[in-house]
Amino acid sequence: MALVAGVDIGNSTTEACVAEVGPDGAVEYLSGALAPTSGVKGTADNVEGVVAVVRRALERARRGRHELDAVLVNEATPVISGLAMETITETIVTESTMIGHNPDTPGGAGLGVGTTVAFGALAECEPGEPVICVVGEGIDFEDAADGINAAVERGVEVTGAIVHADDATLIANRLREPVPVVDEVTLVEKVPLGMPAAVEVAEPGRTIRTLSNSYGIATVFDLDAEQTRMVAPVARALVGNRSAVVVRTPEGDVTGRRIPAGALTLSGERGKRSVEVDAGADEIMATLRGVRPLTDASGEPGSHVGGMLARVRDTMSELTGTRADAVRIQDVLAVDTFVPQRVTGALAGEFALENAVGLAAMVRTSRGPMRLLAAKLREALGVDVLIGGVEADMAVLGALTTPGTGKPVAILDLGGGSTDAAVATDDGVVRSVHLAGAGDLVTKLIDSELGLDNRELAEDIKKFPLAKAESFFHVRMEDGTARFFTDPLPADTFARVVVLSDTGMRPVPTRHSLDRIRQVRRAAKHKVFVVNALRALEQVAPGGNLRQLGFVVVLGGSALDFEIPDLIAEAVAGFGIVCGTGNVRGSEGPRNAVATGLVAAHALTAELGVAVGS
């Protein structure tokens, strides 16, 4: 009997499996353990993590370190992914033609049309003149209301107001004849005066109807067909708002501009093609499919994408000691996303959700400094260290210990940096693929789409379900059910959307609703994991046909996620595949597959050795 430990050094965690292997190849698994990976996968820095995880696994198996006969390590080729995001659209408002920032509490309701007049000049307006009053900074709400009331008394038709401070309801409440008031216009001094303008405010819970409609604006300002064509983007920009202002200026316009982000050149075994990054993710992925398998990718020098790929290359060359020009990018995943961006030329700090493309690039070196790592490990542990087979083969062997699986089996290893797939056919041939884009990209998408600027919080949002703290004693869960507590919840969770993390409730300090956060989270997982799962299986399936796969076992850290495996199962359901989260050795869940596979492979060779020997 030999006591061996299989050790899998992953991008983020190192896992171990301790087992007794009999001379006839019989394996008795004793324990498993995991610890964070120290340093970059496949480098000598990993020793610390490996030692920790082996010690832990031995403790669990109640065995001493001196009893250990061998440590089996996988051939860990460093797989590094780089992430970048580029905004590709921009909204520009010229001549302050519209205000569409949607303040919380506009005042009054209805539509007002008139010429813009500064509050100070209201006294000089002629009776019968329809005006929109522009109330600047520092004017008290009572004074504003008194001034407007006085003007109305003189016969001036004040039909609406645009206000600097958060005073709309306060002013509207004090007017004898309420008019629509739009407030919180921070750059109110830039509103063009003496121009025809329209102010519209809808009742609470409703959206504006006139200024969000091109023909509505045309009616208000008496526009001809050509002019109406010009204002169409303004109307479109205001759709869904509760309040809005449109000022008719000679050249005023709202434009959406595409920002050139540079071209991405994809070189594959089937040729070389270029694609503009601002064409969007679908176009990039279609181009990639055309040249697959990828041998390298490069970005236009001087462009954003060029800079991003250069950064990935530099990191990789630094880590592995290879020259930067020898580093090859072997896969890219592009996803469409959006980021909240300040609108150029806006008067009230409006944000627009601009389109962006997120890119994950993956690099694999030919071989990491494994020999060095093995030597260091031998020194640290004082036992024989054997470098085992290819990671994918080991993962398949480990996955097959899941009860209910059979060949042909495909595994999907959903990690932090990459999505890996491998397929083992009946005759034992294993084909594998490493794809860019996994958990880290999902975190980044959540972070940027919600404008959090807090990676750790984004990570929690990715991993745990949400709830809304409706009182100090109950929360409303994502699915609408209520959960009650006898002890009051922490004060900082009150009225907020919270993440139900394993360390307790964590408030999300934004004004996004629970539904919105949930939708962003699920969309991000879909864009990365479902797309990658299909892409990966397509590349390893015999003849590229997913129907040829009998079983798909989902493995890796992200397989522990509460919804990713379901999203994937749903996506492949149509292909008649049995798909589920792995349960390695019937006890480890989706973890420990490679470590278990290493032990299984070792036992197989032991058996063969016996066979050959006898």
Nearer to another protein, 141 or 464 (CB): 141
In whole angstroms, how close is the CB of 105 to another protein at the nearest point? 5
Sheet with 474-477, edge to edge strand ranges: 482-484, 474-477, 466-469, 497-501, 504-507
Number of Cβ within a 10 Å radius of residue 224 = 8
User: Shortest Cβ distance from residue 495 to another protein (Å)?
Assistant: 5
For residue 195, the minimal CB distance to another protein (Å) is: 28
Q: CA nearest 160: which of 101, 99, 116, 129?
A: 116
d(CA 550, CA 380): 43
Residue 105 binds another protein (CB under 8 A)? yes
Amino acid at 457: L
- For another protein, which stretch binds (CB under 8 A), given 169-177, 328-336, 400-408, 579-587? 169-177
- Cis upstream peptide for 293 (omega within 30°): yes
- Name the residue nearer to another protein (CB basis): 170 or 237: 170
Nearer to another protein by Cβ, of 62 and 511: the residue is 511
Q: Which of residues 170-199 bind another protein (CB under 8 A)?
A: 170, 173
What is the C-alpha to C-alpha distance for residues 406 and 116, in angstroms, rounded to an integer?
75
CB 228 within 8 A of CB 58: no
Question: CA 111: distance to chain centroid?
Answer: 40
Angle between helices 564-572 and 531-540 (to 10 degrees): 50
Taking residues 64 to 103 in sequence order and writing x for each that binds another protein by CB under 8 A, - otherwise, the string is ----------------------------------------
CB of 135 to another protein, least distance (A): 14
DSSP 185-202: -TTGGGSPTTSEEEEEEP
Least distance in Å: CB of 452 to another protein? 13
Q: In whole angstroms, how close is the CB of 205 to another protein at the nearest point?
A: 12
Torsion, Cα 302 303 305 307, to 10 degrees, reads 30
Find the shortest distance in angstroms from Cβ 148 to another protein: 17
Of the candidate residues 24, 28, 67, 104, the single one contacting another protein (CB under 8 A): 104
What residues numbered 149-168 form the site for another protein, per CB under 8 A? 166-168
Cβ-in-10-Å burial (0-12, 13-18, 19+) of 336 comes to middle
Q: Residue 274's beta-bridge partner residues?
A: 265
309-318's contacts with Cβ under 8 Å and 24+ in sequence apart are 309/82, 309/264, 309/361, 311/82, 311/84, 312/80, 312/81, 312/82, 312/361, 312/363, 313/363, 315/80, 315/82, 316/78, 316/80, 316/363, 316/365
Stretch that binds another protein, among 372-380, 394-402, 507-515, 517-525 (CB under 8 A): 507-515
Q: What residues between 466 and 505 interact with another protein by CB under 8 A?
A: 470-473, 488, 491, 494-497
For another protein, the closer of residues 173 and 545 by Cβ is 173
| Nearest distance, CB of residue 172 and another protein, angstroms | 10
**Residue 383: count of CB within 10 angstroms of its CB:** 19
Could you say which of 11, 32, 50, 141 contacts another protein (CB under 8 A)? Answer: 141
Structure tokens at 69: 């006969």
SS3 label, residue 380: helix
For residue 575, the tally of other CB atoms under 10 A from its CB is 16
Which residue of 169, 207, 454, 501 would you call a contact of another protein, by CB under 8 A?
169
Candidate list 509, 544, 576, 609; residue touching another protein; CB under 8 A = 509
Q: Which is closer to another protein, CB of 172 or CB of 316?
A: 172
**Least distance from another protein to the Cβ atom of residue 509, Å:** 7
**Which residues does 511 contact at the CB level (< 8 Å), separation at least 6?**
none
Q: How many residues bind another protein (CB under 8 A)?
A: 22
How many angstroms separate the CA atoms of 603 and 611, rounded? 12
CB of 137 to another protein, least distance (A): 12
Check residue 50 for interaction with another protein (CB under 8 A): no
Nearest residue (CB) to another protein, 119 versus 141: 141
The answer to whether residue 228 forms part of the interface with another protein (CB under 8 A) is: no
CB nearer to another protein: pick between 242 and 364: 242
Binds another protein (CB under 8 A): choice among 62, 176, 323, 511: 511
- In this complex, which beta carbon is closest to another protein, that of residue 441 or of residue 458? 458
CB of 169 to another protein, least distance (A): 5
- Residue number, 166 or 570, with CB nearest to another protein: 166
Interface residues with another protein (CB under 8 A) are: 104-105, 141, 166-170, 173, 470-473, 488, 491, 494-497, 509-511
